[in-house]
């Protein structure tokens, strides 16, 4: 059974870090309802939900993907680039230990945000961003190369994280909103999408994806490729540069 690591949003969500977009007021109550609906998508498909302990003092704590990334059956506990987020790591580590998930760790002074990591087959694209530095990327390479992963660095200047600009469909096609992608040639197969909020997809299985409800044209594009597309509203998280990928960590058996 696949498992899902999630953390409920903080009532201080509106205070979260932003870098590339104007600050808009986020509604914490609405965010919680949207988060519950997001988690329910996975529950209804048989995923086991593993809650990470609340971190209400950390406005960005709901974006759990930034603190840990799965590589097969091994997790890498990251070291976020924003000082305000370092306090999220301990509770994520505890959740991994409770769930029996083995993990490796990025060490200081290197920084790595999980939102900068995109896996396509055995290739790991890592965004060199404001949150992920060369030391963090080098550490990730050292951890993953012996395990058969190929780590490729790509530049990120137009968005917060690599996965704010691109993700991948089940067949490995990288998708993104072209004006926000630094180098489309970095990917063997790139498909431009018509809407900014259509860039992020979570692969549910080989034939279905989850994405924001705020990109109907992109949803139609994916359906035209034969995919089942599940949409869910995440407007309050998008105000904080969040997307469907960063709200969970998927542990696949």
Count CB-CB contacts under 10 A for residue 19.
Answer: 13
**Is the CB of residue 5 less than 8 Å from the CB of residue 50?**
yes
Question: What is the residue-level pLDDT of the chain in tens, covering all 253 positions?
Answer: 899 999 999 999 988 787 877 777 889 999 999 999 999 999 999 999 999 999 999 989 999 999 999 999 999 999 999 999 999 999 999 999 999 999 999 999 999 999 999 999 999 999 999 999 999 999 999 999 999 999 999 999 999 999 999 999 999 999 999 999 999 999 999 999 999 999 999 999 999 999 999 999 999 999 999 999 999 999 999 999 899 999 999 999 7
Question: What pLDDT score does 21 carry?
Answer: 72
**Is the CB of residue 173 less than 8 Å from the CB of residue 203?**
no
Residue at token pair 């987020």: 85
Pick the closest to residue 231 from 204, 192, 250 (CA basis): 204
Question: What pLDDT score does 23 carry?
Answer: 79
Q: Which of 58, 197, 243, 246 is catalytic?
A: 246
Q: CA-CA distances (angstroms) from residue 189 to 143, 176, 183, 222, 245?
A: 26, 11, 12, 15, 20
Q: What are phi and psi of 61, to 5 degrees?
A: -60, -25
Question: What pLDDT score does 125 carry?
Answer: 98
Q: Rounded to whole angstroms, how far apart are CA atoms 60 and 48? A: 23
Q: What are phi and psi of 155, to 5 degrees?
A: -75, 145
**Sign of the dihedral through C-alpha 76, 114, 123, 5:** positive
Question: What pLDDT score does 147 carry?
Answer: 97
Question: What pLDDT score does 186 carry?
Answer: 96
Q: Rounded to whole angstroms, how far apart are CA atoms 84 and 102? A: 26
Q: Is 243 a catalytic residue?
A: no
**Is the CB of residue 55 less than 8 Å from the CB of residue 10?**
yes
Spatial neighbors of 171 by CB under 8 A, at least 6 apart, are: none
Domain boundaries, the chain: 3-14+25-251
**Is the CB of residue 97 less than 8 Å from the CB of residue 48?**
no
For residue 68 the two structure tokens come to 């840990």
Residue 51, SS3?
Answer: strand
Question: What pLDDT score does 17 carry?
Answer: 80
Strand 48-51 vs strand 3-6: parallel, antiparallel, or unpaired?
A: parallel
Q: Rounded to whole angstroms, how far apart are CA atoms 14 and 175? A: 28
Residue 84, SS3?
Answer: helix
Pick the closest to residue 115 from 249, 17, 246 (CA basis): 246
Q: Rounded to whole angstroms, how far apart are CA atoms 145 and 147? A: 5
CATH fold for domain 3-14+25-251:
3.75.10
Q: Which of 58, 161, 197, 243 is catalytic?
A: 161
Q: Rounded to whole angstroms, how far apart are CA atoms 49 and 194? A: 32
């Amino acid at each position: 059974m696949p498992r899902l690591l999630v953390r409920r949003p903080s009532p201080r969500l509106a205070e979260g870090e932003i870098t590339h977009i104007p600050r808009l007021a986020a509604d914490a109550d609405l965010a919680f309802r949207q988060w519950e609906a997001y988690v329910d998508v996975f529950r209804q498909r048989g995923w086991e939900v593993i809650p990470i302990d609340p971190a209400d003092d950390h406005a960005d704590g709901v974006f759990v993907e930034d603190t840990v990334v799965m590589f097969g059956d091994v997790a890498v506990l990251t070291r976020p680039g924003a000082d305000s987020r370092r306090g999220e790591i301990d509770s994520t580590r505890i959740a991994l230990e409770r769930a029996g998930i083995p993990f490796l760790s990025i060490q200081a002074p290197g920084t790595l945000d999980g939102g900068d990591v995109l896996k396509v087959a055995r290739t790991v694209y890592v965004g060199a961003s404001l949150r992920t530095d060369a030391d963090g990327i080098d550490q990730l390479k050292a951890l993953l190369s012996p395990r058969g992963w190929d780590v490729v660095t790509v530049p990120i200047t137009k968005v917060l994280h690599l996965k704010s600009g691109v993700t991948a469909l089940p067949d490995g096609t990288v998708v993104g909103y072209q004006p926000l992608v630094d180098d489309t040639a970095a990917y063997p197969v790139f498909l431009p999408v018509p809407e900014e909020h259509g860039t992020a997809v979570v692969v549910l299985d080989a034939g279905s994806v989850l994405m924001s409800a705020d990109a109907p044209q992109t949803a139609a594009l994916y359906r035209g490729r034969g995919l089942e597309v599940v949409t869910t509203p995440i407007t309050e998280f998008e105000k904080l540069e969040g997307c469907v990928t960063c709200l969970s960590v998927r542990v696949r058996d």
